[in-house]
Structures are given as structure tokens and as C-alpha cells.
Amino acid sequence: MQNTKIQRYVRWLHRVEDILLAGVLTLMLILAMADIAMRLITGGSLIWIPPVLQILVLWLGLLGALLASRSQEHIAIDVISRFVGPLGKKICGISGCLFATIVCGLMAYFSIEFIQTSIEYNDIAFAQIPAWPLQLIIPFTFSLMAVRFFFHTLGYLRIRNYQPNPALTGKAI
């Protein structure tokens, strides 16, 4: 029962991530097309569109990284694991995921400090909108990626032939 509850929460989280990513991408496309159309038709555009697009690029990149970390489809340097046996691959998986956990955890911690500084100095993103709410995606995604990499580390440690990508095994996480 506990396992199915956890799986239900994980599936819900995956759906939220997918919807957010699709929404951000759609909004970016709409704003970029509107900006181009206004420049062609009127010779100018709305002043707030470029900074909004910059923020959406940040959101899109971080949400994409979060999505890739879900099943470990992110960019990885796996030169060593190509030349070693199953035990070596397991050690590479453990060390790589543990390193990623630490790095993502540190990024989450320091991004919280960054946001605190942004609040302290009253940073403005655009049109008198404070920057810090728009920057909350940074600690959120890095925290979630750290947790995911930690669980992948546990998977490598506890499961004999751990496959972080459920598409490879046909089983959902």
C-alpha cells in the first residue's frame, strides 16, 4: 500500500513537471511570435517581452534538466563505464549519482542565498516585478534533482541490476 501511494505521488509530480514544461514552452513560443509580428507590423514591440522571454528560458532550461534527471537522461561523462564490467558500472553509477547529489544540493543551498540577496537588494526583474519570485525555480529544481540523484544512488546500492530509465525495463518508477 505504501509503495502504491509513493508511486501515485511520483506520477503526479511527473505530470506537474510535464505540464509546467509544456506550458513554459508554449508561452515562450506565443510571446516570441507576438514580438516578431509586432516588430514586423508596427516596427516596435512591448518592452516587457524580451525580459520575460529571458526568464522563461531559465525556467525552460531548469525544468528540462529536472525532466532529464528523472530517468538519468541528462548529459553525463561515462567514458569509464564503457570499459568496465557490471561491478564497475555499478560503482560508476553510485559515484556519479552521489557526486550529482552533492553538486545539486550545493546549488540549491547557494541559490537560496542568491534569492535572499535578491530580496535584500530589492532586485527588479521587469515592470516593477521583483526578481526573487521568478528565481524560485532555481532552488526548487536543484533541490528536487538532488533528491532524485540521491534516490538513484540508493537504487544503485540496493537493487542488483538497477535501471534508472524505466523505458529500458518497461517498468514505471
- pTM for the full predicted model: 0.82
Report the C-alpha gap between 54 and 47 in whole angstroms.
Answer: 13
- Is the CA virtual torsion 45, 46, 51, 53 positive or negative? negative
Q: Which of 25, 55, 54, 31 is nearest to 132 (CA)?
A: 55
User: Pairing mode, if any, of strands 124-126 and 129-130?
Assistant: antiparallel
Instruction: Going residue by residue through the chain, which has 173 residues, state the pLDDT in tens, using 9 for 90 and above.
Output: 456 787 888 889 889 999 999 999 999 999 999 999 999 999 988 999 999 999 999 999 999 999 988 877 766 666 776 788 878 888 888 888 999 999 999 999 999 999 999 999 999 998 899 999 999 999 999 999 999 999 889 888 887 777 666 554 444 44
AA identity, residue 168? L
- 126 beta partners: 129
Angle at 78 between CA 77 and CA 82, to 5 degrees: 160
Exposed / middle / buried, residue 4 (Cβ in 10 Å: 0-12, 13-18, 19+): exposed
CA distance 55 to 38: 20
